[in-house]
Amino acid sequence: MQEHKAWTPLEIRPSDIGAAADPEGLVGHLDALADDLEELLTREKAIVFRGFSVRPDGLDPVMDRLLPRRLAYVNGNSPRTKVGSNVYTSTEYPPEFTISMHNEMSYASSWPTRLLFYCEIAAETGGATPVVDAALWLNSLDDEVREAFAGGVRYSQNLHGGKGLGKSWQDTFETDDRDQVDVYLKEAGSDWSWRPDGSLRVSNVRPATLRHPVTGTEVWFNQSDQWHPAALGDETAKALAQIMPAEELPQSVCFADGRPIPDDYVIQVRDRGLDNAVNVDWQVGDLLLIDNVLVAHGRRSFTGKRRVLVAMTD
């Protein structure tokens, strides 16, 4: 194992804690651990619970203990389906694509502190969830890149009103009420405007790095590579450029002062995040709890069926 991949999530199995290999055994352990869970997660950054045979109908009691206040995926930019009480499919991007590393909703004014993933169906091949120490990711970048991002980034979204490329504002904010969206965006400190065709343009300036509120560790904490067309690949970027100008794309990003981010910067960010990641290979019934500031996550490509659910808390 390479030195930069020495960190891995803590794995907890029934035999490790003297618990029954069923959901009740896991719930009992979590009840006993309740006061120490936050400290454990901060120290370990990510935890895999494996071998407890958790089925979908037994998931809620586990989630209630790991995520005391489940959040709705409001202002999320990934295609998902809501399947329960603030429980979602983890993503619906085609299986042949790898999803690069990111901290969930790092582009927003507020983000979940914890994420919980649950494997209902494991892929036939591939489909791992890679996780990376976000401080390691930051330190892996060239000095030139880190310095260029020091002033932060500006994210821009064009959200259609029901028909168009990308997500609609209704799906993004889980409402049909424009007034509710206005309130949300005002509280978030966003710049926004409604267009005559019913679409919405939103712009936000956010930092590129963040310090963990408990440890003080500085981490890479932005999704510039995912919002930049260069990270989609040469052919995809070229096709998008032929369809519409950059300012009309469903989402785009630049430096906070409006300067364009060089293509090679975002490619470096994307590739070094993936290169330093550790794969969590799924088995049915597994759960993965992560600190959403200390750890970034992604998805490896896969074949066959795969169903991984996600929920989050503040």
Q: What distance in Å separates the CA atoms of residue 195 and residue 126, rounded to the nearest whole number?
A: 42
Range 89-108 average pLDDT: 89
Angle between helices 59-66 and 23-33 (to 10 degrees): 10
Q: What are the contacts of 181-190 at 24+ separation with CB within 8 A?
A: 184/74, 184/75, 187/109, 188/75, 188/108, 188/109, 188/110, 189/109, 190/109
What 3-state class would DSSP assign to 202? strand
At 243, the pLDDT band (50, 70, 90 cuts) reads low
State the pLDDT at residue 239.
59
DSSP 8-state code for residue 72: P
Q: Which backbone phi and psi does 243 adopt, to 5 degrees?
A: -80, -40
Secondary element (H or E) of residue 266: helix 263-275
Q: Are 42 and 284 in contact (CB under 8 A)?
A: no
Q: Are 188 and 143 in contact (CB under 8 A)?
A: no
Whether this prediction's pTM lies above 0.75 is answered by yes
In this prediction, what percent of the chain has a pLDDT beyond 90? 77
* For residue 4, pLDDT beyond 50: no
Q: Are 154 and 255 in contact (CB under 8 A)?
A: yes
